[in-house]
């Protein structure tokens, strides 16, 4: 117990940031490791679906780890949306986002160490963004060559909007809430559905930390500035579009669902107090009636 007290962090914000760091770390470790395995094995040890499923397992695992501390945002777009909805204080936005970004960066570094030999064998020792032996896409997301900038922006807005729209209803008591212990796998399935249906264009990042953290790592690990300049400086799209999509999805939920749900039932303690008050008043009323009757009889 003494050791636990010495190690325990007393500051609530620091504890929450630690949880967001670890959760995003786990998410990216699963996802990028699967991407490295599929890429470097030339799809002999997994396919594109393997990467989608690994990210979903990462989401579920990270949520079980951290949901009781922060709600398991794992995504700056999610944190921003909850701030806009008033469910998270605005003072948590920047610390949470930085923690998520750092977790994604560190996870990418660990994936690089684990798969270093495979990456070097696959790429011939040349770390590039373009070409059949490129390895930058193991870590960050990149658009297909035919995709326009505007269409890729729309792609990220729609994907993140669907994410927020579908997860906001899970704990709504006035609708059809999911059991609390089953919310992580349900969110994982939602993420899997989005990645299976909306990742062909540009990888379905739908998460600025998931994209920027690994991109910063590749910048520092040998891929160079091309990870930011490629595809007409595309890197800003998965940074800007997901927060916009998350907020739009949140407002869609409010406008189409939340504001039309039945009013919540009054708390039980209020009705109990009312009943008790009624019972307290009843003897007094009866006593007053008896007094009046006695007076009438006397007269």
Q: Is the dihedral of CA 199, 203, 205, 208 positive or negative?
A: negative
Comparing C-alpha atoms, which of 107, 98, 129 is closest to residue 55? Answer: 107
Residue 205 lies in a domain: yes
Query: Distance between CA 256 and CA 261 in Å, rounded?
Result: 10
Residue 92 lies in a domain: yes
Q: What is the pLDDT of residue 273?
A: 35
Q: What is the pLDDT of residue 294?
A: 37
Residue 286 lies in a domain: no
Residue carrying the six token digits 């609530």:
12
Residue 56 lies in a domain: yes
Torsion of CA 239, 215, 132, 143, to 10 degrees: 0
Q: What is the pLDDT of residue 264?
A: 76
Q: What is the pLDDT of residue 222?
A: 96
How does pLDDT run across 223-279, given as a tens digit for each residue? 999 999 999 999 999 999 999 999 999 999 999 999 999 987 665 554 433 333 344
Number of domains in the chain: 1
Comparing C-alpha atoms, which of 122, 116, 97, 106 is closest to residue 43? Answer: 122
Residue 297 lies in a domain: no
Q: What is the pLDDT of residue 268?
A: 55
Residue 277 lies in a domain: no
pLDDT in tens, the chain (299 residues): 656 777 788 899 999 999 999 999 999 999 999 999 999 999 999 999 999 999 999 999 999 999 999 999 999 999 999 999 999 999 999 999 999 999 999 999 999 999 999 999 999 999 999 999 999 999 999 999 999 999 999 999 999 999 999 999 999 999 999 999 999 999 999 999 999 999 999 999 999 999 999 999 999 999 999 999 999 999 999 999 999 999 999 999 999 999 999 987 665 554 433 333 344 344 444 434 443 443 444 43
Q: What is the pLDDT of residue 2?
A: 59
Q: What is the pLDDT of residue 274?
A: 39
Residue 68 lies in a domain: yes
Q: Domain of 102?
A: 12-260
Report the CATH number at residue 172: 1.20.1080.10
Residue 76 lies in a domain: yes
């Amino acid at each position: 117990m003494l050791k636990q007290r010495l190690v325990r962090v007393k500051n609530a914000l620091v504890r929450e940031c630690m949880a967001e760091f670890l959760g995003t770390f786990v998410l990216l470790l699963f996802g990028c490791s699967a991407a490295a395995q599929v890429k470097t094995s030339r799809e002999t040890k997994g396919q594109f679906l393997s990467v989608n499923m690994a990210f979903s397992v990462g989401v579920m695992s990270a949520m079980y780890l951290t949901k009781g501390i922060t709600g398991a945002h794992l995504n700056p777009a999610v944190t921003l949306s909850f701030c806009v909805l008033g469910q998270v204080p605005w003072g948590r936005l920047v610390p949470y986002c930085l923690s998520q970004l750092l977790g994604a960066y560190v996870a990418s570094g660990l994936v690089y160490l684990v798969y270093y030999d495979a990456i070097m064998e696959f790429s011939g020792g040349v770390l590039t963004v373009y070409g059949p032996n490129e390895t930058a896409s193991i870590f960050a997301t990149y658009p297909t060559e035919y995709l326009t900038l505007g269409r890729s922006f729309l792609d990220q807005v729609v994907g993140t909007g669907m994410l927020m729209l579908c997860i906001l209803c899970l704990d709504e008591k006035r609708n059809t809430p999911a059991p609390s212990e089953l919310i992580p796998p349900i969110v994982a399935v939602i993420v899997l559905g989005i990645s299976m249906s909306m990742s062909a264009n540009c990888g379905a990042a739908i998460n600025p930390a998931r994209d920027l953290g690994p991109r910063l790592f590749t910048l520092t690990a040998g891929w160079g500035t091309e990870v930011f300049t490629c595809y007409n400086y595309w890197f800003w799209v998965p940074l800007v579009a997901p927060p916009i999509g998350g907020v739009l999805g949140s407002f869609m939920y409010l406008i189409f669902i939340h504001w039309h749900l039945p009013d919540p039932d009054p708390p039980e303690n209020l009705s109990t107090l009312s009943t008790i008050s009624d019972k307290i008043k009843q003897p007094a009323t009866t006593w007053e009636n008896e007094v009046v009757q006695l007076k009438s009889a006397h007269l």
